Structure 1
Amino acid sequence: MTIRRVPSQRAIIDRRALAEQIAALHGAGGASARAAIVAALRAALDEGRRELNHRLEETPSAGHEVTAGFSFLIDQLLRVIHDHVTTHLYPVPNATQAERLAILAVGGYGRAEMAPHSDIDVAFITPGKRAPWCEQVIETMLYLLWDLGLKVGHSSRTVADTIRMAREDLTIRTALLESRLVWGEQALYEELRTRFWNEVVKGSERQFLAEKLAERNARHKRMGDSRYVVEPNVKEGKGGLRDLQTLYWIGKYVHRVGSAAELVDVGLFTQNEYRTFRRAEAFLLAARCHMHILTDRAEDRLTFDLQRQVAERMQFADRPGKSAVERFMQYYFMQVKRVGSLTGVFLAHLDEEMAKKRSRTGFFAGWTQRPRMFKGYIVEGGRLRAPGDAWFRADPVRLIEVFQLAEAEGLEIHPETMRQAGRDAKLIDGKLRRDRRANALFLDLLSGRKDPETSLRWMNETGVFGRFVPDFGRVNAQMQFDMYHHYTVDEHTIRAIGLLSQIERGLLAGDHPRATREFPKLASRRALYVAVLLHDIAKGRGGDHSVLGADVAYKLGPRFGLDEKETDLVAWLVLQHLLMSRTAQKRDLTDPKTIEDFVTEVQSLERLRNLAILTAVDIRAVGPGTWNSWKGQLLGELYDAAQERLRLGHKGNGRKGRVTAKKDAVQRLLGDADHLVDTIGAQLGDAYWIAEPEDIIASNLVQYDAAIASKNQLSIACEVDETRGATRVSVIAADHPGLFYRMAGGIHLAGANIIDARIHTARSGYAVDNFLVQDQNGQPFREAGQMARIEKGIRDALLAQVELVPKLAARPLAHSRAKAFDVAPRVDFDNDASNHFTVIEVTARDRPALLNRLAHALYKANLIVHSAHITAYGEAAADTFYVTDLTASKIKAPDRLAEIEAALLAAASDQRQQQLEKA
């Protein structure tokens, strides 16, 4: 392999001048000149890096040129160092056969694709018998390289050892595949190469292909198994540089090509596909170089903070509705998407080649499965293939039909047909988009009963999806710059459609029993599939995507073939697709006004069913771990309450009837201890009985009774609540001002996150408070030691045995990556959401003990907190409080509201700590 030509080489490093300088230094100082020689080498290295960094700044996308430049710089340094060591330190006037050495660049260095902080992978190859001279030279060279601060991955082997180990080790075989002679004995290198191709590669092509694909699949799984994760690994992630390199390795191994360009000659790529290959590779290499320079280390993960900086360095600019970083990441995802398309075509060709070479033996020798015709297509080996190159040009509607048939029949699409579809996607124009048959086929595909997700993903890979539905094309590869969404908008949408299909087929009944049960009752299943497709369709347009998306729905519904009633339903679902999750997670579901307001908007059981299922798939498709049993519990409670209200209207139980029914249910749960409802339960007002579920009330009454019996002034109970996906912490203590914020601080000190809190005061003057808490991963605390730590944290905080402010301030941020985002604190008041309370919602950057600080601000403002509901959205948190003043009244005076807002903004902002310390 030859290194690609690097322009203005002497501006990077002048090897001849450097060699002369080192020779002069050695001549003047002999062995004592080592420090000066290292200094000269380091100066040359630093100067070369500066020049290449400058070139990258001048041409931010010059990935190939800059990585080749870094490889050239190391080549020249290695040559100078080798010549210095063999000429000045260990000269051999008459070298024997054993005193020969070849220095090989391997791995990425061998490919001449080195980022600024890439490891330098070098193989020192010696003849069959290694001489002491070789060992001296290798050791001295390595020490000089290490003194320069270079990370050198090295091996030192004989030709025979190298061949033997390559047969056994896939990594060594791959490294040798990319080897390049940097300096030394050409004949030794040629001997190794000849033996490698004849003794290692020959006959092992199929094994290498299988092992490389298995290695790739394992790597994808480690990296999230999607090319659309929002913090991708540029090197190892799906669709990243390693995937491109894997294609090259396989192609080279099977066809013995010397460069990626030769993959065109052997028919694995078309010329256009090769240009796509090079464009994606250049962009990814450039992005990686920028990342290394920005972090001053070998950083390959494109984290949120780096995304802004790399976007700026690569000269992406803001556009209306889309920031520079979102445009940069959209371009990034378009490149990795193309890598995925290339991979499919490439591997399919190889698979066919291997199949032709594979000889059959035994009973089935000479037998091949006969292809069959299906609606004009060829079906062979479970794959659907177009019968000719002009198939789509003859009737462009087939560009939709092929994906619909694949879904309906459970077939794969032949990669050659995928290639044709990608090439001919440009045939899709306004006339085809209005074609009734094309739209009917698309609607059948979208609401397919087998696996619409896979076929839609294929459709998206070819570009047909975005051409046929241009509104979808606008969100193609569009990321959402936050820590909540894990995938790009198009990937999130396709995953949501897949989840909807799984729910319909009963595959997610364990996690979504209600959705599975209600799905068959839908009046129009296809309307819900269209709603899921369109719910985020208007993101990135600079306005409320729900409102803008509803407008899109009114336009696309009739085009797809929906009737007026179905279109109205889809538009409403898109407009209100966040209503149910916001209500469930941010409002008190035991407050009748919450249910009344929700039902006023929903209006019908049909809408409720559709919205509930859409909400479930939308949350779950956000990313791994986003859906949990707590969210399922909240949505279920809201659904059941709304369903009852819609069915019975105002005929449902009034307040008194609800309390009586709840008491009867708790008595049944308590069994022999049912008398506690009439004794201790009498101390608790109707608000408590309405707010708390039966199982928690029963537990509270038993705990209260035990506390009285033991004359315990403070009782703390921790219990895993699997149904709610959290640990329940119940505290019974003498009520006093500031109790809530102190308890919250104690829980935070124990490392727990509060997701829900209900605060009650009994007629006896004791507080009965119930918290639901989770760990940093959104899971319940289960270990006895963890629960003991929570109990100690609360006890210490309430008994003033610990200073909360400095202790909480010292806790590290849960998400240090959150610093990459600007989350401006915001306070909203709502006096209409409840008949009895003022509802305050505070949105701020999520940080340790945010709830404690906000609760402290409310305490200082002389407000009583009755319940708190906490929702995390990645880097942001929304904390909702139901409060009254000291007279149990709502807060309505404008100046009072302004005063409270200022206090909460100070608590939520970066200056919050100073505010607390002054208090």
Structure 2
Amino acid sequence: MTTPEQTTGQPDSGPSGYAAARLRLLHEKARSGPPRRAAMARLTDDWLHALFTAAAREAGVQGAALVAVGGYGRAELSPRSDLDLLLLHDGSSDAAAIAALADRVWYPVWDLGLALDHSVRTTAEARKTAGQDLKVQLGLLDARHIVGDPAPTAALRTAVLADWRNQAPKRLPELDELCRERAERQGELQFLLEPDLKEARGGLRDATALRAVAASWLADAPREGLADARRALLDVRDALHLTTGRATDRLALQEQDGVAADLGIADADELLRQVYEAARTVSYASDVTWREVNRVLRSRAARPRLRALLGGSRPAPERTPLAEGVVEQDGEAVLARTARVDRDAALPLRAAAAAAQSGLPISPYVVRRLAAARPLPVPWPAAAREEFVTLLGAGEPTVAVWEAFEAEGLITRLIPEWERVRCRPQRNAVHTWTVDRHLVETAVEASALTRRVSRPDLLLVAALLHDIGKGLPGDHSTAGEPLARSVALRIGFDRADAEVVATLVRHHLLLVETATRRDLDDPATVSSVAEKVDSLSTLELLHALTEADALATGPAAWSTWRGSLVTDLVGRVAAALAGKAPAAPRPVVTSAEQERLAVEALRTGGPVLSLHAQPEPPQEDDEPEPVGVELLIALPDRPGVLPAAAGVLALHRLTVRAADLRTVELPTALGEVSDVLLLSWRVAAAYGSLPQATRLRADLVRALDGSLDIRSRLAEREAAYPRRRGTQAPPPRVAVVPGSSELATVIEVRAQDAPGLLHRIGWALEEAAVRVRSAHVSTLGANVVDTVYVTRPDGAPLTSGEATTVAKMVEEALRG
């Protein structure tokens, strides 16, 4: 059988011959990656060579050439890549002949359905266009002669490279700005769940930009690993094209398993991890390169003035001491001339801490030297541990220094456990970062909270290690506890401090999960937290870690409302640890607004509503901005309130981000005590404006008296908008949580968020003939955790069998 190599020697000049050879090449499993891309380029070259030769002869054109530019010029043809072609001519042939030649080349390409980016220009026209359009100039830097007269191609390449180098002081800042604007639009490839392999920061566009910088001779990118990173991204794009059959650069979630299988990678997570590693290499190279470009341009601009001031002599670079063996030079942290990498094991940490504390980038050449430092003894000396803590406490500058150390493998030398979380994706839209970057960002957030705790060093280390168990089987908090203890001991903490760090890692989700999913007025809630935390000093550390973790997760993970719940819980636990009496077992009103509504509901006998925006507290001189809308509902206790209220919100297309339902006791005018239901909702309009409170109240009254059939209305809406293919959510899980309360039975619902979800839960509980004592809704991204405290109608907790039955009824209602 004829192989692709054989076809590239004398290809069939007809479209069918080229198409057949191309198809065979794409399905040849033994050859992929760079060899296949190069073979694809050769095959295409040979086909176009035959097309152009015949067309030029028929058109009678001399002095013309067919030139590949852009990705095709680099011989990087993916299965669905565009063909970027330039028909270059010397102007000696008439326009009609050149047009006829172009048609005879372009139309066969179009007939095959191949995407074609084409132009027809003289050398002078090409140079002029490149001078006006940066993207055209970048494409011409990779110009490669295919067929025809080689003289115009050679002249163009020489001229374009000369223009690029001469114009570098102007063009490179333009290219830098272009890359920044693209990054703003597309995000960072190394953190995206559905990244654009080409356009996102750290993708193929940035890798090409680094080639352009190198061609300017003004600066060069770090070469270590860059070629491998570029090749890895191209390989993934090839597999993506073959899997989807489309010219796409976006690695969508539904395509990742197929792409991983095509590349022989274990699963989609490992695929993303390899993509992230490649993107991180490109991003780091970009950071270093553009910093060097800007340094060189600043130096060039300042040189004439300095020479004039110094009478023509060349000034020696200034070196400002930062720490022992570390100095600042040219806006970077570098090593002093007396520094001994081979003898000073703590030098890498001291240099990192000094750079971060000074807000300076650390020179990549210095980091490479530091990689040769001898290992630290175990346990680390106190001085090394202090430098490590100083690095973690430096705030935002820590990130750049950490990334520089990551690029040279220094982090995993210091903390071998880091390898498991490095570049590990988090398949949850709530998370902004990969696991490793999230840990660093948590330390950054924690650095702003160190004044609140008595042991900031333990807070910072726990922040860095709190998710170190991710990637191991089971609950990551449980798996991370022994790892954190081991790391803490290795870096020089004593056993007591290491136990505190381990406890913080084990329970880093305890406060936020308890505050948002449990009834804080139930004494068992406070007791369970106090037993786990054990001391006031650990509680204050856990409080700060909780906030830092949430802030570093993403905007959906923290809010004023969540913060107030956690603070409330911490206050109650602190009182319990101090031996103070627990709070009253029955809930009470907690604000003047709630009390006003409750009294009005008791007076009127019907629902009373309040709807208003809740602003975040202002930051420095900024004005507060509303981040959600608080809806308060009060009405005398009666059956069916939860499903009715939740259903009305769903009908009005209000998304419930958080909710709390409590029964409070109020004295009546006759001196008796009556129960009033207080529902506090944090809601947002799915689209459009918010409904008026009067409309919500009117519909709630109708829902309660049965004149508004919410279930039918919601069913009609769901039928009108069927779920799209590929968006099937995991099934809901409903479980009884034993031992969480002595006053009620706790049932926890975990499910994909959906309109009317809370309404269906409420109806299932109504049909089970249980009383809802309190309910707590926590929404994070597409997932919700709803916790309900239920009792028998007489107020007693359910038996084990009754609780299991109720949980099954709720789960069946959600599955149905």
Fold match (TM-score > 0.5): yes
Deviation per residue, 1:792-840 (Å, 9 max, x gap): 8757766335623533534769998764x7x453222135323332110
Shift of residue 544 of structure 1?
3.1
Aligned to 1:445: 391
Matches within 5 A, 1:51-70: 51-55=24-28, 57-58=29-30, 62-70=32-40
SS of the residue 1:212 aligns to:
helix
| Candidates 709, 729, 733, aligned match of 1:826 | 733
| Candidates 551, 559, 573, aligned match of 2:482 | 551
Aligned to 2:653: 751
| Candidates 260, 264, 284, aligned match of 2:233 | 284
For the 8 Å contact 1:453–1:494, the answer to whether it is kept is yes
For the 8 Å contact 1:840–1:881, the answer to whether it is kept is yes
Partner Cα distance (1:787, 1:126) in 2? 72
For the 8 Å contact 1:446–1:456, the answer to whether it is kept is no
Aligned to 1:117: 80
Aligned to 2:285: 342
Shift of residue 492 of structure 1?
0.6
Aligned to 2:769: 862
Shift of residue 493 of structure 1?
0.7
Classify 1:139/1:696 alpha carbon distance in 2 versus 1 (closer, same or farther; 3 Å).
Answer: farther
Classify 1:377/1:17 alpha carbon distance in 2 versus 1 (closer, same or farther; 3 Å).
Answer: closer
| Candidates 588, 592, 603, aligned match of 1:690 | 588
Shift of residue 639 of structure 1?
2.7
- Whether 1:328 aligns to 2:271 is yes
Partner Cα distance (2:470, 2:631) in 1? 40
For the 8 Å contact 1:813–1:848, the answer to whether it is kept is no
SS of the residue 2:777 aligns to:
strand
More helix by percentage = 1
SS of the residue 1:103 aligns to:
strand
For the 8 Å contact 2:65–2:153, the answer to whether it is kept is yes
Shift of residue 649 of structure 1?
0.9
Partner Cα distance (2:42, 2:560) in 1? 56
Shift of residue 631 of structure 1?
1.9
| Candidates 671, 692, 708, aligned match of 1:800 | 708
For the 8 Å contact 1:629–1:725, the answer to whether it is kept is no
Aligned to 2:790: 883
Classify 1:883/1:350 alpha carbon distance in 2 versus 1 (closer, same or farther; 3 Å).
Answer: same
Shift of residue 289 of structure 1?
1.3
Aligned to 2:429: 483
SS of the residue 2:417 aligns to:
helix
Aligned to 1:302: 251
| Candidates 158, 175, 178, aligned match of 2:142 | 178
Partner Cα distance (2:701, 2:84) in 1? 57
For the 8 Å contact 1:591–1:691, the answer to whether it is kept is no
Calculate the aligned-residue CA RMSD, in Å.
3.7
SS of the residue 2:557 aligns to:
coil
SS of the residue 2:190 aligns to:
coil
Shift of residue 884 of structure 1?
2.1
Equivalent position amino acid for 2:655 in 1: N
Equivalent position amino acid for 2:793 in 1: L
Shift of residue 389 of structure 1?
12
- Whether 1:609 aligns to 2:516 is no
Aligned to 1:246: 209
For the 8 Å contact 1:839–1:882, the answer to whether it is kept is yes
Classify 1:403/1:593 alpha carbon distance in 2 versus 1 (closer, same or farther; 3 Å).
Answer: same
For the 8 Å contact 1:714–1:734, the answer to whether it is kept is yes
For the 8 Å contact 1:813–1:847, the answer to whether it is kept is no
Aligned to 1:534: 465
Shift of residue 395 of structure 1?
3.4
Aligned to 1:510: none
- Whether 1:721 aligns to 2:614 is yes
Classify 1:484/1:784 alpha carbon distance in 2 versus 1 (closer, same or farther; 3 Å).
Answer: closer
For the 8 Å contact 2:774–2:789, the answer to whether it is kept is yes
Shift of residue 615 of structure 1?
0.3
For the 8 Å contact 1:720–1:782, the answer to whether it is kept is no
Equivalent position amino acid for 2:12 in 1: L
**Bigger shift: 44-53 or 731-740?**
731-740
| Candidates 365, 368, 374, aligned match of 1:419 | 368
Partner Cα distance (2:38, 2:109) in 1? 19
Classify 1:449/1:250 alpha carbon distance in 2 versus 1 (closer, same or farther; 3 Å).
Answer: closer
Aligned to 1:507: none
Shift of residue 153 of structure 1?
2.5
SS of the residue 1:392 aligns to:
coil
Aligned to 2:242: 293
Deviation per residue, 1:330-380 (Å, 9 max, x gap): 333332333344345545665666577667224546463643374334532
Query: Which TM-score applies when normalising by structure 2?
Result: 0.86
SS of the residue 1:393 aligns to:
coil
- Whether 1:71 aligns to 2:18 is no
| Candidates 132, 145, 159, aligned match of 1:168 | 132
Classify 1:893/1:554 alpha carbon distance in 2 versus 1 (closer, same or farther; 3 Å).
Answer: closer
SS of the residue 2:643 aligns to:
helix
Equivalent position amino acid for 1:92 in 2: A
Aligned to 1:152: 116
Matches within 5 A, 1:767-806: 768=677, 770-775=679-684, 783-784=689-690, 799-800=707-708, 803-806=712-715
Query: Which TM-score applies when normalising by structure 1?
Result: 0.77
Partner Cα distance (1:568, 1:92) in 2? 84
Shift of residue 574 of structure 1?
1.3
Equivalent position amino acid for 1:47 in 2: A
Partner Cα distance (2:641, 2:803) in 1? 23
Deviation per residue, 1:831-852 (Å, 9 max, x gap): 5323332110012333343323
For the 8 Å contact 2:38–2:76, the answer to whether it is kept is yes
Matches within 5 A, 1:72-111: 72-82=42-52, 85=55, 91-93=58-60, 95=61, 101-111=64-74
Classify 1:184/1:370 alpha carbon distance in 2 versus 1 (closer, same or farther; 3 Å).
Answer: closer
Q: Which runs of 5+ in 2 are unaligned?
A: 617-625, 669-673
Shift of residue 750 of structure 1?
2.9
Q: Which runs of 5+ in 1 are unaligned?
A: 1-6, 23-40, 256-265, 318-323, 505-518, 656-686
| Candidates 878, 884, 892, aligned match of 2:799 | 892
Classify 1:610/1:441 alpha carbon distance in 2 versus 1 (closer, same or farther; 3 Å).
Answer: same
For the 8 Å contact 2:161–2:215, the answer to whether it is kept is no
Classify 1:563/1:573 alpha carbon distance in 2 versus 1 (closer, same or farther; 3 Å).
Answer: same
Matches within 5 A, 1:23-42: 41=15
Partner Cα distance (1:297, 1:360) in 2? 52
SS of the residue 1:154 aligns to:
strand
Shift of residue 577 of structure 1?
0.8
Partner Cα distance (1:811, 1:693) in 2? 42
Aligned residues: 789
Aligned to 1:839: 746
Classify 1:47/1:897 alpha carbon distance in 2 versus 1 (closer, same or farther; 3 Å).
Answer: farther
Shift of residue 733 of structure 1?
7.2
Partner Cα distance (1:221, 1:814) in 2? 31
Aligned to 2:512: 581
Shift of residue 734 of structure 1?
8.8
Aligned to 1:406: 355
Classify 1:308/1:846 alpha carbon distance in 2 versus 1 (closer, same or farther; 3 Å).
Answer: farther
Aligned to 1:511: none
Partner Cα distance (1:464, 1:880) in 2? 44
SS of the residue 1:227 aligns to:
helix
Equivalent position amino acid for 1:906 in 2: E
For the 8 Å contact 2:556–2:781, the answer to whether it is kept is no
**Bigger shift: 606-615 or 621-630?**
621-630
For the 8 Å contact 1:719–1:728, the answer to whether it is kept is yes
Aligned to 2:619: none
Deviation per residue, 1:485-513 (Å, 9 max, x gap): 33222111111111112344xxxxxxxxx
Deviation per residue, 1:610-641 (Å, 9 max, x gap): 11110011111113443223322322332333
Partner Cα distance (1:335, 1:839) in 2? 46
Deviation per residue, 1:21-47 (Å, 9 max, x gap): x4xxxxxxxxxxxxxxxxxx2x44653
